[in-house]
Structure 1
C-alpha cells in the first residue's frame, strides 16, 4: 500500500545542510495501523509530509497505492492526495463553520452535490459519535469532540490512507483512549490504512500493528508492536517501552531487593498472549513446595495480545527451585535469573 524506498530529505540553511530524514525504507500494508514514533527532532513530521506529497524527497521514492507520489505534481498530485487524508494535533477546524459544515467542506471543494453531501455528512456524524452536535461550532466542543470532527472531515472523500500527526497529543488520557478506540473501530469497519505519528508509546501499544522507531532522521528499529515490546533492541526503543511497561519501577524494586538479598533466586518471567493469564504462581507453590514472593508485575495490552513481566523471589531447596525453573521453561515462559538490576 505504502512503500518508502531509501528516502532522504535534506534542507539547505544558511548554516549548511540539515538531514531531516536519512535513507529510510518502510513498507506499510493495506489495512494496517502503522506507528512512527520518535522524540522531537527525530524526523517524524518530515516523514508525514513526504507521505502526502507536501515535501519531495532529496533522494529515494515514495509510493502510495502503486503510484509514485514523489515524482508527480499539479493535477495528478492533487488527485492522489484525495486518497490521502490527515488529522492534526490542534484539529485545524474552521471556527466560523458548524460541525456539519466543517465535515462538508472537502465535499464542497470536490464539487459533490448538496443532497449527496448531506447524506455523507450525516453518515460520518453518526460514525464518529457526534449525533446531536451537528449545529455546534468548534468553540462549543470539547477537545475530543473537535478531534472527532477532524476525523469525520478527513473521511469525507473516502480516502484509502489516513495520516495522524500527533492526533492525541493535545488531549487528556481518557479522551486519548476514546479517540484511539474510534480510530481502531474505523480501521476495522472501513479497512482504512492508518499511519500514526507520535512521541507516545501508549498510543503505539494501544492500536498499532507495527511500529518504526525514529532517531536523528533514521529508522533505528521496526517490527510488530508485541515483538518490539518483548525484545526492544535500540536504546531509544528501550526508553519508550520503559515508559509504559513498568520497567523503571521494576528496576527500582530489583535494586532494593538485591541490597538485602541473602537466599533463594530472583527470577524475571516474561509472558506473551494467553500465558499472561495462567495461574503460574499458585501452581509453583503447590507443585514444587517452594515459597514464591512477588517483587514486581505488569501487563501491557497490544493489538496482537498481552505482554507481561513478573519478577519473583524463589525460596526453597535448591533442587526444587531448579525443577521449578525447568518447568517454567517447558511452558515456553521466558525465564531469566537476575543477579543485578
Structure 2
C-alpha cells in the first residue's frame, strides 16, 4: 500500500547550518493496518509524516502510495492526490468561525462537491464520529475530544485511502484519549482505512497499532509487530518506551535486591504471551511439583495482537525439583529468565 524508500529531509534555515531531520528512512506499510511511528521529541517523526503528503518536500527519496509516486507529482496532481490522504493534528487546526458541520464540509467545498451531496456526506460523518446533536456548535463550544472528532470527520470527508495522525491524542486527557483511539480502531475496521499514527506515547502504540517503527535521530532504529517489539526490544530507546508500559527500573532494581535476600531456592521472571496469560500456571506448579511458589510482582497488558506480561516468582525446594519446574514452564511457551543473585 505504502512504500517509503530512502526518504531524507535536510533543513538549512540560514543557508549554512543544515539539520538532518529525516535520514534515509525506508518503510513498507500494509493496506488496512494501523502503523505506529514512535520517537522522542526531535526524532524526526513529525517531519516524516509531513513528507508523506508533501506538506514538506523531501530532500531525497520516494513516497509511493497505492502505486503512485507522491514525490514526483506536480502541483495540480499533488492537490488531487492529497484528497486521498487525510490528516489529523495535535491541536485540531479547526476553522474557529465555522460550525462543526461547516468545518467538516470545508474539504468537500474545495473539491467542488455539489451542496446536496456535500451535506449528505457531512451528516454521515457526524454520525460516524459520534457528534450527532453538535452540528451547529462552534469549536469554542466543544471539548478537546469533540474538536478532535471534528478533525477526524473532516479528514475522512473525501474518502481517503490513508489517514495520517500527527500526535492526535497528545493534547487530550487519558479518558478522552482512549475514546479517540477506540474511534480510530472502529474507523479502521469499518472502512478498511490504512492509518499511520505518530506519537511519543507507548500506551497509544500498545492499544491500537498492529506494527510499529521506532525513530531516533531521523532514522528507523527498530520495527516490527507491536507484540514482538514489546517482548524483545533491541535498542535502548525502544527499551525506554517499553518501560512506560511494563513498569519502572526502580521497581525492577528493588526486585533484584529482594532476590538477594533469599538464601535458598531461585527467583525467576516469567514472560507470558497470548492465551498463556489466562492459564492457571502457578496453581499447576504447586500441585504437580514439590516446590513452594511465591509471587513477588506481576503485570499483564494487552496489545492488538494479544496479551503479554511478566511475573516475578520465588521458587523454593530441592534443586533438581526446581530444574524440573523450569523445564515444565518452558514447555508451555512461557519464557523463563533467571534473576541472578549479587
Asked whether the two chains share a fold, i.e. TM above 0.5, the reply is yes
Higher alpha-carbon deviation: 243-252 or 50-59: 243-252
- Contact 2:269–2:312 (Cα < 8 Å) also in 1: yes
Question: Displacement of 1:258 after TM fit?
Answer: 2.8
Instruction: Determine the structure 2 residue equivalent to 1:26.
Output: 27
Tell me whether 1:100 sits opposite 2:97 in the alignment: no
Instruction: Determine the structure 1 residue equivalent to 2:181.
Output: 180
Higher alpha-carbon deviation: 186-195 or 99-108: 99-108
CA distance in 2, matches of 1:248, 1:142: 36
CA distance in 1, matches of 2:117, 2:268: 63
After TM superposition, list the pairs within 5 Å mapping 1:156-175 onto structure 2. Answer: 156-175=157-176
The alignment partner of 1:13 has SS state of coil
- Contact 1:253–1:295 (Cα < 8 Å) also in 2: no
Q: Which runs of 5+ in 1 are unaligned?
A: none
- Contact 1:268–1:310 (Cα < 8 Å) also in 2: yes
Instruction: Determine the structure 2 residue equivalent to 1:10.
Output: 10
Instruction: Determine the structure 1 residue equivalent to 2:138.
Output: 137
Question: Displacement of 1:245 after TM fit?
Answer: 1.3
Q: Which runs of 5+ in 2 are unaligned?
A: none
CA distance in 1, matches of 2:90, 2:331: 47
CA distance in 1, matches of 2:322, 2:159: 59
Higher alpha-carbon deviation: 249-258 or 237-246: 249-258
- Contact 2:300–2:310 (Cα < 8 Å) also in 1: yes
CA distance in 2, matches of 1:159, 1:73: 20
- Contact 1:253–1:296 (Cα < 8 Å) also in 2: no
TM-score, structure 1 as length reference: 0.97
- Contact 2:129–2:149 (Cα < 8 Å) also in 1: yes
After TM superposition, list the pairs within 5 Å mapping 1:45-60 onto structure 2. Answer: 45-60=46-61
- Contact 1:9–1:57 (Cα < 8 Å) also in 2: yes
- Contact 2:33–2:194 (Cα < 8 Å) also in 1: yes
TM-score, structure 2 as length reference: 0.97
- Contact 2:260–2:341 (Cα < 8 Å) also in 1: no
- Contact 1:144–1:175 (Cα < 8 Å) also in 2: yes
- Contact 1:213–1:220 (Cα < 8 Å) also in 2: yes
Question: Displacement of 1:253 after TM fit?
Answer: 3.4
- Contact 1:2–1:65 (Cα < 8 Å) also in 2: yes
Instruction: Determine the structure 2 residue equivalent to 1:115.
Output: 116
CA distance in 2, matches of 1:58, 1:109: 29
Instruction: Determine the structure 2 residue equivalent to 1:339.
Output: 340
- Contact 2:259–2:339 (Cα < 8 Å) also in 1: no
CA distance in 1, matches of 2:250, 2:192: 38
CA distance in 2, matches of 1:176, 1:113: 35
1:273-296 deviations in Å (ceiling 9; x for gaps) = 000110001111111021111111
Question: Displacement of 1:259 after TM fit?
Answer: 4.1
1:212-260 deviations in Å (ceiling 9; x for gaps) = 0000111100000000001000000000001111253541331331342
CA distance in 1, matches of 2:139, 2:39: 30
- Contact 2:86–2:164 (Cα < 8 Å) also in 1: yes
CA distance in 2, matches of 1:327, 1:118: 63
After TM superposition, list the pairs within 5 Å mapping 1:188-267 onto structure 2. Answer: 188-246=189-247, 248=249, 250-267=251-268
The alignment partner of 1:185 has SS state of helix
CA distance in 2, matches of 1:222, 1:340: 33
After TM superposition, list the pairs within 5 Å mapping 1:266-285 onto structure 2. Answer: 266-285=267-286
RMSD: 1.2
CA distance in 2, matches of 1:201, 1:209: 13
The alignment partner of 1:96 has SS state of coil
